[in-house]
Amino acid sequence: MRFTRSILRALAALPLIAAARAFADGPYSSASASAAWQDNVTNATPGDGVLSAFTLESCADLTWLRDLDFSTFLTAGVASTADLCTTFSGLDSISAGPRLEIRHKIGLGPYAPLVSVGLEADAAAFSDSGRSNVDIAAVARFSQRLDEALQLVVDARVCATEANHEVYSGSYASLGATLNWDIDEIWRLSVKGAWRNGDIVAEYAAEKVPLYGWVPIDTGAYAYTGPRQLVRTFSEPFIAYRAKAPTLSWGAGVSPAIGRHTSLILEYTRCRTNAYDTYVNDLVSVGVVHHF
């Protein structure tokens, strides 16, 4: 019931989308498709159940815009995502939710900075029902073109998630920066770094022992005092734990334009989480984005 009420609260924002129909401009739409491989989807330490996964993802969104003055405009829309994990079907998911954002350009000219603040909400359904959740986030962004070729983008987010099982619920705050270099009219090179702090889920391979039942193979996992759950998402039993920990990530990508409104994206990201143990996750992705 608690999860159902959370879905209703998140979807209560959908009238914003209906109101957006009265906006002067829109809808504008975009779609993307990508394939990603990560080498540690379980957030485990080596020898304790590190598993890799390959995921196919598709995203689509609709956006309406309205000018408030010559330098400020409001956007409202809806976004949806579908993930298909070819390795573990329990990680298959679909999600959708509304978006609301206000953007303001400080000053005139192509080098004037742009700031924005907004709200996002999503309801996600997983094949592994314990992972199904609703999240609500406040987001902020600052972007500025430093010259004709260089652009700096800084993003901040505070997010709270409520899931079917408490081990997958939690909250976090994040801050990231991306530097885009437009080499020419076709090629863009990006480097990025980010900090995240809050709840994370680590999943350790489990074994069944007399008197205690299912326990993690890694005895260090006993240091976790938060929520835990035996899960059957993977090919063997795992125990999922929730803990608070900081994560640092960094990476790079290249994005060649392959059409007037279409770009190809190739990215590599490494994430390092320092909790009771240290988790390292490498993510490689390739995708295409099209703006209609």
- Domains along the chain with CATH numbers: 2-291 (2.40.160.40)
CB atoms within 10 A of CB 216: 23
Encode pLDDT of 213-233 as tens digits.
Answer: 777 776 666 666 677 888 889
**Cα–Cα dist 215/212, whole Å:** 7
Which one, of 63, 72, 71, lies nearest residue 100 by Cα?
A: 63
Confirm if 262 and 20 have CB atoms less than 8 A apart.
Answer: no
- Mean pLDDT (the chain) is 88
Please give the share of the chain, as a percent, with pLDDT higher than 70. 89
Find the helix or strand (DSSP H, E) in which 77 lies.
strand 72-85
DSSP symbol at 131: G
Quote the pLDDT of residue 280.
92
The one-letter amino acid at 193: G
Q: Is 209 within 8 Å of 286 (Cβ atoms)? A: no
Contact in structure between 83 and 56 (CB atoms under 8 Å): yes
Give the pLDDT confidence of 182-206 residue by residue, as tens digits.
999 899 999 999 999 999 998 888 8
Q: Percent of the chain beyond pLDDT 90?
A: 63
Alpha-carbon span 221 to 217, nearest angstrom: 8
Overall residue count recorded for the chain in this entry: 292
Higher confidence at residue 285 or residue 20? 285
- Segment 278-281 long-range contacts (CB within 8 Å, at least 24 positions apart): 278/45, 279/40, 279/43, 279/44, 279/45, 279/200, 279/202, 280/40, 281/38, 281/39, 281/40, 281/41, 281/43
- Give the pLDDT confidence score for residue 3 in this predicted structure: 47
Q: What is the per-residue pLDDT across 234-265, written as a single tens digit (0 to 9) for each?
A: 988 998 989 899 999 999 999 999 888 899 99
pLDDT band with cut points at 50, 70 and 90 for residue 277: confident
pLDDT, residue 41, reads 93
Is pLDDT of 33 > 50? Answer: yes
Let me know: does 156 contact 177? Beta carbons within 8 Å: no
What integer is the mean pLDDT of 108-112? 85
Could you tell me if 49 and 238 are in contact, meaning their C-beta atoms sit under 8 angstroms apart? Answer: yes
Q: Are 144 and 171 in contact (CB under 8 A)?
A: no
**C-alpha 215 chain-centroid distance:** 30
Question: What are 69-93's pLDDT values in tens digits?
Answer: 888 999 999 999 999 999 999 999 9
